[in-house]
Amino acid sequence: MTARWFSAAADDELTIFERSKPGRRAFAPPELDVPERPLDELLPASRRRAQPPRLPEVAEPEIVRHYNRLSKRNFDLDTGFYPLGSCTMKYNPKLHERVAALPGHAKLHPLQDPARAQGALLLMWRLQEALAEISGLPHVSLQPSAGSHGELTGVLLTRAFHEDRGERRTKVLTPDTAHGTNPATVTMAGYEVVKVGTDEHGNVDLEDLRAKATEDVACLMLTNPSTLGLFETGIEEIERIVHGVGATLYYDGANLNAIMGICRPGDMGFDIVHFNLHKSFTQPHGGGGPGAGPVAVADRIEPFLPRPQVVRRESAPANGAGRVHYDLDYDRPKSIGRLRGFQGNYGVFVRAYAYIRSLGASGLREVSEVAVLNANYLLARLRRAGVLEYLPAAYDRLCMHEFALSGAPMKRELQIKTLDLAKRLLDHGVHPPTVYFPLIVDEALLIEPTETETRETLDRFAELVVQILREARGDPELARQAPHSTPVRRLDEAAAARRPVVRQAL
Amino acid sequence: MTRYTSVTDDDLREMLAEIGVDSVDDLFADIPGALRLERQLALDPGRSEQEVYDELRALAQANVSTEDEISFLGGGMYDHYIPAMIDSIVQRSEFLTPYTPYQPEISQGGLQAMFEYQTAISELTGLPVSNASVYEGPSAVGAAGYVAKLEKGRRRFVVSPALHPHSRETLATMAGGWGMEVVQASLAGGLTELPELDEDVSAVIVQQPNFFGVVEDLEPLAATAHAAGALFICACDPLPLALLKPPGECGADIAVGEGQSLGNRLDFGGPSFGFFAATEALMRRVPGRIAGETKDVDGRRGFVLTLQTREQHIRRERATSNICTAQALNALAGVIYLSWLGRAGIVELVELMMQRTAYARTRLAELEGVSLLHDQPVIREFAIRLDAPLERVIASCREHGINPGYPVGRDYPELTDCLLVAITERRTRAQIDRLVEVLGAAVAANRRSTEVKA
Amino acid sequence: MAEPSYPEDLLYHEEHDWARVDGDSATFGITWYAQDALGELVFFDAPSVGAAVERGQSYAEIESVKAVSDVIAPLSGEIVEVNEALSDTPEMVNQDPYGEGWLVKVKLTDPSEAESLMSATDYQTSLS
């Protein structure tokens, strides 16, 4: 069986270094138009390197051909379905690339005088306002570069908040379903992680939370819906418990796609929210970034926001009318400081802003409605097809925008694991769902279709899973040896980790 | 239906029936009534593609970009020429839209590109292990600080005052969470001078070339750091590494830096990428994704994300970093750019910039009322002091369509009326001459004193 | 090692570690169950010779491709030898967890602690 999405190029792709030949070149410098001074005069030999870096020596056509051929060894979202739970792989509108490339945005230097970057600052201001409205928290910083960067910002904001009140707390609570970035962030922010359990309905265990929510706890990090794709029905009680001990409530916005225009984390009582602009707001994933992770906070956290903040100022009326302009405000005495250089990933803001303007209020609400509809529909189709007998839903509830299945029965009865099912899906030109996460589900499969998929795509996915299960009953080896038809087959990850080769030897 | 969704009325009816509910609203039954939004979000209605385009274009036109003025701004990000080839490759769906390569069998394009990028960064920095990118320069310094903290466990960082102000601030913000202190060394004639180091320093951090464009003498600084048992971290500008002795050969344990100069847009400060390279000994502490070479079951060469046990998705609270999404697409632009420049080209490019920078520096220094802040070697950036109010000089230059540089007084209050001037390959001799002419006239018209040069 | 194996002459700790006691010295390692759960091992983050180990506390980390695990000391003592071969071939722990895959040799501080460890039979029972 051939996967139709990739065109079979050569079996073994050379690296760009292997294509090099001494003397070949793609670059020609502009003409030297100033008097040439001896190198030794400008840069003493003691500071100079003996040999230039051994970069490739290739002409332009070969570079283009090389990277084009490499691209054809990649599966991608524009080509096929990515039901990756927790990732929100929705369509990336092409308009966004056009507007992001406008020179007024793309060629704007970050240290340009704010008076001459009013378009950029206005765009950031409006994006902040929109994110504030979507989250229900009024004060936004666009600075963090990704979700985990936003998480670090949020926990450092919490630290500053407590220290400002003269309190030193040492612990942060995270559910056992938390994404790995949450506990990693907690340690990076200098706190101790305490795990809170999940009950039999897939909600945070309120008893366990009550026991662990002491006055030594700085914060509870939560996402809602959870990483199981389930709405925390006890969220109002959670808020009471956490605020009751003076801790802050942090919202990991990875699952925002389920609730835009439906409900808001600010209204649930969260103090700090981070957004993943590369999830709900269509910044393309780029094979691992860039993204952006802005934060929105409640009034009591506002003083600690990173520096600088984009602000709106009104100058004194010169002749009757005050002039509104936008600025970068550095005068923030209680700010936690900076988390990165300049203002953040502005190119990502341009795309996210274009998306919000394209969809508007009703469009964003529809995004969440269809995301949740699609997930429930897919779950229902899988149930009707009998798939859930081998891959039962982890919790027997209406899901939100994603749902978790357990591959444990499939492993027992058909002798194929979640990993094997995932690899067999690759042969059918579909990216597998998220596997082995959340950790509390055995042989987990986390499926998030998103709202931009058609019903036909979802039907086909269900049929593929049925087919793979049926095939496994007859011959489990097909899945266990899968994939068969991709540019490479299963790779020896143990060897790669034991004796890592992380660069080309030259 | 929005233009990105496909649910018709027929679809909706059948899908609701399949699920077994009456309406979409029923799907949100788990949400307590009190939390349901009873109104529309207070956002403008959605607009057509062309209306959104028009708005974004109007916003773009309200910015003065490097196409609208002759810019000598530097300070961490630079106006370089980006070859057309880069966009034609990175805009391909196969590079733009895939997810992180957790399924390596269908991600060999991205993984191999990471491997090639890692090789190129290793060559530039002279260190054997590079990761596949972090966010950008200043947070890369923070990430390196975290590795030093994990490795050494001591209470302090000693940093050069000429480490980029944003890097120093970012490190300080992050170090606050670790209960660590950031202490500044001193600067003499533009070069970093370290104080006596005790046994409580986890790392010494300097920048090469430093914020003022000055080329530091790294080896003695590294030796001092190591003698005190501290790590030596070098934040470096990648293009000058074509000529400069790489940090790895000067004793750096970790080299990080801002990658924007390598084929990435200015984009008002981001997205770009940060690079992170380290010694073999620190390999298992390096943050972020690392692509490694291996073989598949049929013996084909292939690439995978390796040493994943360092990372948050496995090691969780004990991870070497919390980083997940990084800057893969920007790093791809970086390796394409480095391939385009090539081994000979990168040297030629940087030598060209250095010659033009020397020319600009000489001509500006000859002006009455203008003096160089330092007389150390520089590559493509240097600082000058004006004997005139900076605001007026800048305003005057602006009227002539020139942005003369960055006022460093914003970050170094003692350096009033000082400008950081960057010369990239985009600045021709004619443009430099124009700068000299216009700036010279502006200084002359606004002189504070009447001193003349000998 | 493909089939579960729990040699009779060893003592076992509930965190899936074994001890081979010889007077006031012992050799430690991880059980078949532990190496099977972790998968193919890729890295043993060994402690230093001379380091103290405490019964029930972690003294090292062991890694597979997709997991990291603390290694728990079944008994208290001081490390006198570390299995250096594992830095080249950590997979030895999978292949021969009780022989060539030993992790450390320890001089015991309190040999009587061995009385609290399980026999092979009791350990196997605890696994089901």
* Residues A375 and A346 placed together within one structural domain of the fold: no
Q: What DSSP designation does B182 have?
A: E
Q: Which of A409, A379, A440, A383 is nearest to A203 (CA)?
A: A440
Residue type, B344: A
Domain assignment present for A185: yes
Confidence of residue A2 (pLDDT cuts 50, 70, 90): very low
CB spacing of C90 vs A436 below 8 angstroms: no
Please count the CA atoms within 13 angstroms of the CA of B339 that sit on its side-chain side.
31
Say if residues C86 and C44 touch (Cβ distance below 8 Å).
yes
Chain C residues within an 8 Å CB radius of A498: 42-43, 90-91
d(CA A364, CA A359): 6
Domain assignment present for A324: no
pLDDT tens across A205-258, in order?
A: 999 999 999 999 999 999 999 999 999 999 999 999 999 999 999 999 999 999
CB spacing of B318 vs C68 below 8 angstroms: yes
CB spacing of B45 vs A362 below 8 angstroms: yes
Instruction: Write the DSSP string, chain C.
Output: --S----TTSEEETTTEEEEEETTEEEEEE-HHHHHHH-SEEEEEPPPTT-EE-TTSEEEEEEESS-EEEEE-SS-EEEEEE-GGGGT-TTHHHH-TTTTT--EEEEES-GGGGGGSBPHHHHHHHH-
Say if residues A292 and A345 touch (Cβ distance below 8 Å).
yes
Token digits of residue B73: 């701004």
d(CA A186, CA A183): 5
d(CA A414, CA B251): 56
Say if residues A277 and A283 touch (Cβ distance below 8 Å).
yes
**What is chain B's mean pLDDT, rounded?**
96
CB spacing of C68 vs B308 below 8 angstroms: no
pTM: 0.96
Inform me whether the C-beta atom of residue A436 falls under 8 Å from chain C C-beta atoms: yes
* Residues A55 and A102 placed together within one structural domain of the fold: no
CB spacing of A498 vs C63 below 8 angstroms: no
* Residues A434 and A351 placed together within one structural domain of the fold: no
* Residues A261 and A338 placed together within one structural domain of the fold: yes
Q: What average pLDDT does the segment B30-37 reach?
A: 96
Q: Give the containing element (helix H, strand E) for A314.
A: strand A309-315
Q: What average pLDDT does the segment A356-381 reach?
A: 98
Confidence of residue A365 (pLDDT cuts 50, 70, 90): very high
CB spacing of A74 vs B132 below 8 angstroms: no
* Chains in contact with C via at least 3 Cβ–Cβ pairs below 8 Å: A, B
Q: Which of A268, A263, A232 is nearest to B36 (CA)?
A: A263
Domain assignment present for A83: no
* Residues A56 and A132 placed together within one structural domain of the fold: no
pLDDT over threshold 80, residue A119: yes
Beta bridge partners, A139, equal: A297
Confidence of residue B449 (pLDDT cuts 50, 70, 90): confident
Q: What average pLDDT does the segment A101-127 reach?
A: 98
Could you give the C-alpha distances from B398 to B204, B267, B442, in angstroms and in order? 40, 21, 11
* Residues A296 and A175 placed together within one structural domain of the fold: yes
* Residues A290 and A345 placed together within one structural domain of the fold: yes
Q: Is A61 exposed, middle or buried (0-12, 13-18, 19+ CB in 10 A)?
A: exposed
Chain A, nearest residue to C40 by Cα:
A494
Degrees (nearest 5) of the Cα angle A461, A462, A468? 90
A468 vs chain B: nearest CA distance in angstroms? 18
Q: What average pLDDT does the segment B184-213 reach?
A: 97
pLDDT over threshold 90, residue B206: yes
d(CA B388, CA B72): 19
d(CA A194, CA A247): 14
Instruction: Write the DSSP string, C16-44.
Output: TEEEEEETTEEEEEE-HHHHHHH-SEEEE
CB spacing of B173 vs A337 below 8 angstroms: yes
* Residues A385 and A269 placed together within one structural domain of the fold: no
pLDDT over threshold 70, residue B37: yes
Chain C residues within an 8 Å CB radius of A442: none
pLDDT tens across B303-360, in order?
A: 999 998 888 888 888 888 888 888 999 999 999 999 999 999 999 999 999 999 999 9
Degrees (nearest 5) of the Cα angle A115, A118, A123? 155
pLDDT for A7: 60
Residue type, B332: L
pLDDT over threshold 90, residue A129: yes
CB spacing of C66 vs A436 below 8 angstroms: yes
Helix (H, G, I), strand (E, B) or coil at A50: coil
pLDDT for A1: 41
User: Hey, of C35, C36, C38, C40, which one would you mutate to test binding to chain A, going by the most A CBs within 10 A of its CB?
Assistant: C40
Q: What DSSP designation does A339 have?
A: S
Degrees (nearest 5) of the Cα angle C61, C64, C69? 35
Confidence of residue A320 (pLDDT cuts 50, 70, 90): low
d(CA B139, CA B326): 11
d(CA B183, CA A233): 48
Q: State the residue range of the domain holding A58.
A: 1-73
Percent of chain A with pLDDT over 70: 97
- Whether B84-336 and B70-78+343-445 are alike in CATH topology: the answer is no
CB within 8 A of B444, min separation 6: which ones?
B368, B369
Chain A residues within an 8 Å CB radius of C42: 494, 497-498
* Residues A264 and A339 placed together within one structural domain of the fold: yes
Confidence of residue B25 (pLDDT cuts 50, 70, 90): very high
Max Cα separation, chain B? 91
Chain B residues within an 8 Å CB radius of C42: 309
Domain assignment present for A329: no
Q: Which of B174, B181, B176, B177 is nearest to B154 (CA)?
A: B181
* Chains in contact with B via at least 3 Cβ–Cβ pairs below 8 Å: A, C
Domain assignment present for A235: yes
pLDDT for C1: 79
* Residues A198 and A346 placed together within one structural domain of the fold: yes
The CATH classification number of B84-336 equals 3.40.640.10
Say if residues B274 and B282 touch (Cβ distance below 8 Å).
no
Q: Mapped to the 3 state alphabet, what secondary structure does B290-330 carry?
A: CEEEEEECCCCEEEEECCHHHCHHHHHHHCCCCCCCCCHHH
Say if residues C107 and C2 touch (Cβ distance below 8 Å).
no
pLDDT tens across B412-432, in order?
A: 999 999 999 999 999 999 999
Under the phi-then-psi rule, with left for phi > 0, alpha for psi from -120 to 50, and beta for the rest, what region is A320? left
The domain that contains A375 carries what CATH number?
3.90.1150.10
* C interface with A, Cβ–Cβ below 8 Å: 39-43, 63-66, 90-91
Q: What average pLDDT does the segment B56-79 reach?
A: 98
Token digits of residue B169: 């601030």
The domain that contains A218 carries what CATH number?
3.40.640.10
- How many helical (H) and strand (E) elements, i.e. helices and strands, does chain B have? 12, 17
Q: What average pLDDT does the segment A271-288 reach?
A: 97
What is the ipTM for the molecules in this complex?
0.97
Q: What average pLDDT does the segment B199-214 reach?
A: 98
B352 vs chain A: nearest CA distance in angstroms? 6
d(CA A211, CA B283): 40
d(CA C43, CA C28): 17
Chain C, nearest residue to B305 by Cα:
C65
Say if residues A309 and A141 touch (Cβ distance below 8 Å).
yes
Domain assignment present for A367: yes
Nearest CB neighbour to A498, from listed C39, C66, C90: C90
d(CA B409, CA C9): 75
d(CA A154, CA A339): 11
User: Hey, of B285, B309, B311, which one would you mutate to test binding to chain C, going by the most C CBs within 10 A of its CB?
Assistant: B309
Give me the torsion for CA of A292, A296, A300, A302, rounded to 10°: 60
Residue type, B165: P
Q: What average pLDDT does the segment A9-22 reach?
A: 83
Helix (H, G, I), strand (E, B) or coil at A193: strand
Phi, psi of A304 (to 5 degrees): -95, 0
* Residues A347 and A365 placed together within one structural domain of the fold: no
Domain assignment present for A411: yes
Q: What angle in degrees, to the nearest 10, is found between the helix axes of A147-164 and B165-177?
A: 70
CB within 8 A of A475, min separation 6: which ones?
none
* Residues A349 and A374 placed together within one structural domain of the fold: no
CB spacing of B317 vs A504 below 8 angstroms: no
Domain assignment present for A237: yes
Q: At which residue do the structure tokens 């927790």 appear?
A: A86
Inform me whether the C-beta atom of residue A493 falls under 8 Å from chain C C-beta atoms: yes
Please count the CA atoms within 13 angstroms of the CA of A440 that sit on its side-chain side.
21
C46 vs chain B: nearest CA distance in angstroms? 13
Nearest CB neighbour to C65, from listed B308, B315, B318: B308
Where are the domains positioned within chain B?
9-50, 70-78+343-445, 84-336
A206 vs chain B: nearest CA distance in angstroms? 17
d(CA B66, CA B260): 15
pLDDT for A246: 97
pLDDT over threshold 60, residue A12: no
CB spacing of B314 vs C67 below 8 angstroms: yes
pLDDT over threshold 90, residue A13: no
* Chains in contact with A via at least 3 Cβ–Cβ pairs below 8 Å: B, C
- How would you write the pLDDT of chain C (128 residues) with one tens digit per residue? 788 999 999 999 999 999 999 999 999 999 999 999 898 999 999 999 999 999 999 999 999 988 889 999 999 999 999 999 999 899 999 999 999 999 999 999 999 999 999 999 999 999 88
The CATH classification number of B70-78+343-445 equals 3.90.1150.10
Chain A residues within an 8 Å CB radius of C64: 494
Q: What average pLDDT does the segment A275-294 reach?
A: 97
How many structural domains are present in chain A? 3
d(CA A410, CA A433): 16
CB spacing of A30 vs B135 below 8 angstroms: no
